[in-house]
Amino acid sequence: MNTLQTFAIIVFALMLVGILFYMQKRHMSFSTRVFTSLGLGVIYGLLLHVLFDAESIALTQALDWINLLGTGYVRLLQMIVMPLIFISILAAFTRLTLTKNLGKMSALILAALIATTSIAAGLGIASASLFNLEAIEIPKGESEITQGQAIEERYEEMDALTLPEQIVQLIPANPFLDLTGGRPTSTIGVVIFALFIGVAYLGVRRKQPASADTFKNLIDALHAIIMRIVTLVLRLTPYGVLAIMIRTIATSDFGAVASLGKFVGASYVALIAMFLVHLLILTFLKMNAWTYMKKAFPVLAFAFTSRTSAGALPMNIETQKKLGVPSGIANFAGSFGLSIGQNGCAGIYPAMLAVMIAPTVGQNPLEPSFIFMLLAVIAISSFGVAGVGGGATFAAILVLSALDLPIALAGLLISIEPLIDMGRTAVNVSGSMVSGLFTAKVTGELDNDTYNNPEMKLDTQVEQG
C-alpha cells in the first residue's frame, strides 16, 4: 500500500512538472511560470498535508524523490556561487568598470547594507514590542531543548575567539579553501582574493600590457562560460520552486504555527514593513517601486521558497543588471549581501529575539540604553553572517551573547523557524539588490532606460541566454 501511495504522489508531482514544461514550450514568461510553480506547490503541498501524516512512510519516500528536483536545483545554484563571485569581480577589473571610485562604491554598498540592517532591527524591536512577545510564553518541548543545547555548543566554539581574531578570520589564508565555501566567511574571503588579483592586474597592465591582455582574454572567456552555466541553471527555477514548495508545505507543523501564530505574525509584520522601506528608498531616489517589484519577483520568490541567499546570488546579480545596475556594482552588492548586513537574518530576527528574551533576566527591553546598545551590537555583528541555512542563528548568538542574554532561548522557535526563515531570506535578497541600486544611483552609473524598460528583465535573460 505504501509503495502504491508513494508512486501516486510522485506521478502527480510529475504531472505538475509537465504543466510547467508545457508552459515553457508555449513561451510563457519566466515570471508567470515561477508564480504558477509557487501556487501549484502550495496547493499540492496542502493536499499532501491533509491526506498524510508527517511521519507517513509513503509521504517521506515520495518527498525524497521530489527532493531530487528541489535540493538538486539549489545545489546547482550553490555550485556556481563562488566561481561567479570570483570571475565577475575579475571581469569588472579587466573591463575597467571598477577602476573609478572603487573605494567610494564599496563604501556606499556597505553603508547601505548596514543602514538598512539597523532600520530592520528597529522594526524588529517595534514589532516585538507591539505584539508584546515574551520568551516565557513559548512552550519548551524536546526539540526546543535540543536546539537550545546545540546553540550553546556553537557559542562555546565561537567564544574561544576574541573580536580581533574573528576579524582576522575574514582574511583568506587559503583562497582555494574559500572557493569551496569551506568557511562561514568564505564569501568575503573570495571577494578579498579577487580584489587583490584585480589590483595586481592593473599594475601588470601598466608595465606588461601583453601579459595583461592574455590574462584579460582568459578572464573574458571564463566569464562567458560561467554566465552561460548560470543561464542554464536559472531555466530550472520553476521546477525547483515547485519541488521546494511541495516539500515545505507538506512537512510544515501547522499545529506549532497555530500555537505560535503571534510570533509568526509579528515576524512577518516586521519583514513586510522592511520591504516597504526598500520601496520607499527607491521612491526617494526617484525610481519606480512597481518596476522594481515586477523585475525582482522571480528572485524574491526563489529566495522565499529556497531559504538560501547564497543560492539566489546568480538571480540576484542578473536581476540587478536588468534594473540598470552595472555588473561590477551588482556583483559587489550581491556578494557583500551574502555575509554583511542581511536585513532579515542579521537585523529583524536577532532584534526580536533580544526583546523577547530580555525580560527573562529582568531587563526592560524598551529602556533607551538597552535599545541603543542592541542597535549598535546588531550593526557591528551583521558582518560575516553566512548566506546559507543557519545564518540567522549565527547572528542571534552574536547579539545575545554580546548583551549577556541566555543563548539557549534562541532555540525556542525551532518549530516555526522554516516558515519565518522564508520571509527573512527574501528580505535579505531585496536589501542586497536595493543596496546595489542605491549605489548605482548615487554614483550616477544607473542606466535609467534599462531600469524602466519592461523588456529588460530576467525573463529575457533566461529565455535568450
pLDDT: which is higher, 462 or 69: 69
Q: Hey, what's the cell of 161?
A: 575567539
Alpha carbon distance 447, 291 (integer Å): 14
Contacts of 192 (CB under 8 A, 6+ apart): 170, 171, 172
Question: Helix crossing, 349-357 with 261-284: angle to 10°?
Answer: 140
Q: Could you give the angle at the alpha carbon of 278 between the alpha carbons of 121 and 302, nearest 5°?
A: 95
CA distances from 358 to 210, 354, 409 (A): 62, 6, 11
- The helix (H) or strand (E) run that includes residue 443 is none
CATH of the domain at 418: 1.10.3860.10
The runs of H, that is alpha helices, within 285-341 are: 289-306, 313-322, 327-339
pLDDT: which is higher, 320 or 143: 320
Reading phi first (left if > 0) and then psi (alpha if -120 to 50, else beta), residue 362 is in left
Q: Is the dihedral of CA 151, 153, 156, 157 positive or negative?
A: negative
Q: Could you give the angle at the alpha carbon of 114 between the alpha carbons of 111 and 118, nearest 5°?
A: 130
CA distances from 93 to 195, 321, 434 (A): 9, 17, 23
- The helix (H) or strand (E) run that includes residue 311 is none
- The helix (H) or strand (E) run that includes residue 156 is helix 142-159
Q: Which of 280, 321, 293, 250 is nearest to 426 (CA)?
A: 293
Chain-centre distance for alpha carbon 62: 28
- The confidence score (pLDDT) of residue 145 equals 47
| Beta carbons of 316 and 334 less than 8 angstroms apart | yes
What's the whole-number mean pLDDT along residues 227-234?
86
Chain-centre distance for alpha carbon 145: 27
Q: Hey, what's the cell of 351?
A: 532584534
| Beta carbons of 322 and 456 less than 8 angstroms apart | yes
Supply the Cα-derived Rg of the chain in whole angstroms.
22
Contacts of 102 (CB under 8 A, 6+ apart): none
Which of 25-29, 157-161, 194-198 shows the lowest per-residue confidence on average (mean pLDDT)? 157-161
Q: Is the pLDDT score of 25 beyond 80?
A: yes
Alpha carbon distance 209, 302 (integer Å): 43
Q: Is the pLDDT score of 277 beyond 90?
A: yes
What is the pTM assigned to this prediction?
0.81
What's the whole-number mean pLDDT along residues 368-385?
82
What's the whole-number mean pLDDT along residues 66-77?
87
Alpha carbon distance 223, 229 (integer Å): 10
Question: What backbone torsions phi and psi does residue 364 show, to the nearest 5 degrees?
Answer: -75, 110
- The confidence score (pLDDT) of residue 139 equals 52
pLDDT: which is higher, 159 or 45: 45
- The confidence score (pLDDT) of residue 144 equals 44
pLDDT digits (tens, 9 = 90+) for 139-188: 554 444 455 455 545 545 555 555 566 667 777 888 888 888 777 677 77
Chain-centre distance for alpha carbon 214: 36
* Mean pLDDT of the residues in the chain: 82
Alpha carbon distance 292, 288 (integer Å): 7
Contacts of 382 (CB under 8 A, 6+ apart): 113, 114, 117, 340, 341, 342, 346, 347, 395
| Beta carbons of 271 and 429 less than 8 angstroms apart | no
Q: Hey, what's the cell of 424?
A: 527573512
Which of 85-99, 203-217, 219-233, 344-358 shows the lowest per-residue confidence on average (mean pLDDT)? 85-99
* Residue 227 per-residue DSSP state: H
pLDDT digits (tens, 9 = 90+) for 409-452: 666 566 677 788 889 999 999 999 999 999 999 998 899 989 98
Residue range(s) defining the domain that contains residue 11: 2-464
Q: How many domains does the chain have?
A: 1
Contacts of 209 (CB under 8 A, 6+ apart): none
Q: What percent of the chain has pLDDT over 70?
A: 83
Number of H helices and E strands in the chain, helices first, is 21, 0
pLDDT digits (tens, 9 = 90+) for 286-304: 999 999 999 998 899 888 8
